[in-house]
Structure 1
Amino acid sequence: MKLWRKAAGAIKDRNSIWLASLSRRTPYRHPDLEAAIIRATSHDGAKIDYTNARRVFEWIRTSPVYLKPLAWGLSSRMEKTRSWVVALKGLMLIHGVFCCQIPSVQRIGRLPFDLSGFKDGHSSPSKTWGYDAFVRSYYAYLDQKSAFISSEAKNLKKALKPTLLDELIKLQRWQSMLDMLLQVRPLDENMKVGLVLEAMNNLIVEVFDVYSRICNGIAQALLKIYASPAKSEASMALRVVQKAATQVEDLSQYLEVCREMGVLNASQCPKLENIPKEDVKELEQIINGSANNNNNTNGKRENCEHFEEEKIHEEIIMSGIRKKGSNNKRVLKTVITDKWEIFDGDCSSRTTLQDQHHFPNCYSSHLSVVSLPNHKQDLPDLITF
């Protein structure tokens, strides 16, 4: 039975390639590209034709002219098939096209075919229900990602600077997409086949790409919120952070399932880190209004004073030193030192520079250079604080 099904699939692929070769080349038809698509999405579930998949990617990278023939050839292939193998290979192919990161691909919008209600027609539902669910969930994610990338490309084209609220809304959309992505998993224990494992390898890479976007977006949003606290933005950021903490646990469970299945990339994934509790508490304080502006100002001033005290110890102090020449004229010489210098006066006592003059506070950007005279006199107050 399996041998007959494999032979029937090979005959279908050969007939499809022959029909594609008879078509005329138009802006929407390209016989060679259609043949490569058919070979890359063959009915053979035991192997993947990487050679023809790379040919498709090279065509797309060459010119955006090939995007319409790709959409036509792949959509006609996906809409006619009732094989989960062909459908899954088609989704992996369009996923690879998205990874090419070509501007014309980012403007596709929704996918040109619909697999939301896909059901395999070559076997009984009791045997293929897991594959059907896998194809439907994979399609749902790629369809939403394509629409999201298209909307982001339009916003970039307008050259409008996004506000903090826009960035938080974007983060929420990425989080909803991560939820959809984590639903793409084998639900049947009998799905440990090579084609599914290869698809899961690609999905692991996609998971960490989306997860890294979320982490980077949260870090940038928190910096902006702490710089200028606003209750509405802080409330939305708190929901984003709480959602991220939940998704870390879901992602850990997802990776554990993939490791048990034998997915190669799942065993090589980086370590996941939770959101610090201090960030959550600070957001809650901003929302509750418990952060007093005066306390914040005093705290910032104390931090400034502490910072400047350390900075003073690290600065190079320049001091003027008296020196007599052969003509009994006083010559000034500049010496660079890392210690406070003590100057000798005509009196027997020694007075330090620190005792004679106060240092500027933390808002001053430099230290004054003062030279002491060699005779007693009242020094005018040249520095006012």
Structure 2
Amino acid sequence: MRVWTKASGAIKDKNSIWVAKLSRKGPFHNPDLETVIIKATSHDEGGIDTKNVQRVFHWIRTSPLYLKPLIWALSMRMQKTRSWVVALKGLMLIHGVFCCDIPVVNQMGRLPFDLSNFSDGHLSAAKAWSFNAFVRAYFAYLDQRSAFVSSAVTKQKNNKKEVEETLMEELEKLQKLQGMIDMLLQIRPRNEDTNVGLVLEAMDCVIVEIFGVYSKFCNKIAKVLLRIFEVGGRVEACIGLKVLQKASIQVEEMSLFFEFCKYIGVLNASQCPKIDTISEEDIRELERIIHGASFKKASVVENDEEKAIVLRDCSPTATVSHQKESENGLTTVITHQWELFDDDVIVGAKGIHNNASNGAKAIGTTANPFEESCSLVPYVPVHHQSLPDLISL
């Protein structure tokens, strides 16, 4: 039965390629690109075709005008397939396109196909449910991710003048990032039958994505806490406290998730990062603000991105560059333990620690098919040409 399934899948791929080559070239059709997409999302469950995946990235980075036929061809294939292999490869492919970080891709919005109710039509129900769950969870995250990025880009375009986000807007964005982390942690094999090569390759992509989203959250929470401590509003402090309390739970969940990935062989023991809990000092200070405790507004050294403010941090292990006694007895400490970082690197922070010295190594050494997607071809913007109308899809 397994041999017949493989043979049947190979025949379907060849027929699809034959039909693609005979189709007429147009705004939605590019036979050459469609052929590459079919090969990249073949029925072969041995692993993703990295060569053809990279060729797709090459096309999209050459010109954003190729996005329309790419999305159309991939959407048609995703809507027709009943194979978890093809569906998962399609999701990994669109995930890699997102990682190319091309402006027109970031404006795409929700995914143009729906796999929220995907069901494999070739396996028995007992075997298919875990693969179905994996595909659905992966789709749900990518759909939410695309909508989140598109919303941020649209908002930035509408604001012709550079206006700083309000504190409430920043807190709302933090909550959305936490929601995305929750969705990422749901993408995992549900039983041992799902621990096959293709699923483990997809888990590599998921782990890299967790590092990326979590690093954005850490970077933003550092700045938001500084603003809350400056403003001292009870409403903002209350929301900030909920964010920190949820973050402390998510730190534990991520640690368990990485341990699980180590168990199934996605991460090596030396690569598995360890994440400490949220700083209790930050939580207590927010509670003081909520309960009306007054404190002297802390001042921040301008343009010094390596320092952050932590109130009443008198621990002997803290690296202190300056501390000042306030009028009511509270101590304001400026410490080096908040570390801001680029979006693709996760490091420790005062509010969210990371004790693993090899955490960054885990990112660099994690195998995933997207690692070359941003270095194949330099992006050359197209002038005097209209960009694809994605809404019409």
Alignment TM class, shorter chain as reference:
0.7 to 0.9
Q: Quote the Cα distance in structure 2 between the aligned partners of 1:28 and 1:188.
A: 40
For residue 199 of structure 2, the aligned residue among 179, 196, 199 is: 196
Counterpart residue number, 2:213: 210
Provide the residue aligned with 1:156 in structure 2.
156
Given that 2:41 and 2:90 are in contact with CA atoms closer than 8 Å, whether structure 1 keeps it comes out as yes
> Contact conserved, 2:130 with 2:189, CA < 8 A, in 1?
yes
The 1:24–1:266 alpha-carbon spacing in structure 2 relative to 1, beyond 3 Å, is farther
Rg larger in 1 or in 2?
1
Aligned-partner Cα distance in 1 for 2:91–2:295: 54
Q: How does 1:155-194 map to 2 (within 5 A)?
A: 155-159=155-159, 160-194=163-197
Name the stretch that deviates more: 83-92 or 22-31. Answer: 22-31
1:270 positional shift: 3.4
Q: Look up the equivalent residue of 1:263 and give its one-letter code.
A: V
CA distance in 1, matches of 2:40, 2:131: 19
Mapped to 1, the partners of 2:124 and 2:74 lie a distance apart of 26
Q: TM-score, normalised by structure 1?
A: 0.76
Q: Give the equivalent residue in structure 1 for 2:66.
A: 66
Partner amino acid for 1:55? Answer: R
Q: CA deviation at 1:47?
A: 2.6
Q: Secondary structure at the match of 1:274?
A: strand
After superposition, the CA RMSD in angstroms is 2.2
Please say if residues 259 and 267 of structure 1, whose CA atoms lie closer than 8 Å, have aligned partners that are also in contact. no
Q: TM-score, normalised by structure 2?
A: 0.74
CA distance in 2, matches of 1:265, 1:134: 22
Q: Mind listing any 5+ residue stretches in structure 1 that lack a counterpart?
A: 308-385
Match of 1:40 in 2: 40
Counterpart residue number, 2:341? none
Which letter does structure 1 place at the counterpart of 2:209?
Answer: E
Matches within 5 A, 1:289-300: 289-291=292-294, 299-300=325-326
Which residue does 1:280 correspond to in 2?
283
CA shift for structure 1 position 201: 0.7
Give the corresponding residue for 2:260: 257
Partner of 1:349 in structure 2?
Answer: none
Structure 2: unaligned runs, 5 residues or longer: 298-310, 312-323, 334-393
- Distance of 1:265 and 1:222 partners within structure 2: 34
Cα-to-partner distance string for 1:78-132 (whole Å, 9 max, x where unaligned): 0000000000000000000111111100011000100000000011111111000
For 1:258 and 1:121, how far apart are their aligned partners in 2? Answer: 28
Name the structure with the higher helix share: 1
Percent identity, please. Answer: 58
Confirm or deny: 8 A CA contact 1:40 1:50 kept in the other structure. Answer: yes
Partner residue, 2:123: 123
Whether 1:22 aligns to 2:22 is: yes
Alignment of 1:303-322 (within 5 A): none
SS in 2 for 1:113: coil
State whether residues 71 and 112 of structure 1, in contact with CA within 8 Å, keep that contact through their aligned partners in structure 2. yes
Contact 2:262–2:272, Cα closer than 8 Å, also in 1: no
Bigger relative CO (Cα 8 Å, ≥ 6 apart) = 2
Letter matched to residue 148 of structure 2: F
Q: Which aligned segments of 4 or more residues in structure 1 are displaced greater than 2 angstroms?
A: 158-161, 264-267, 291-294, 298-303
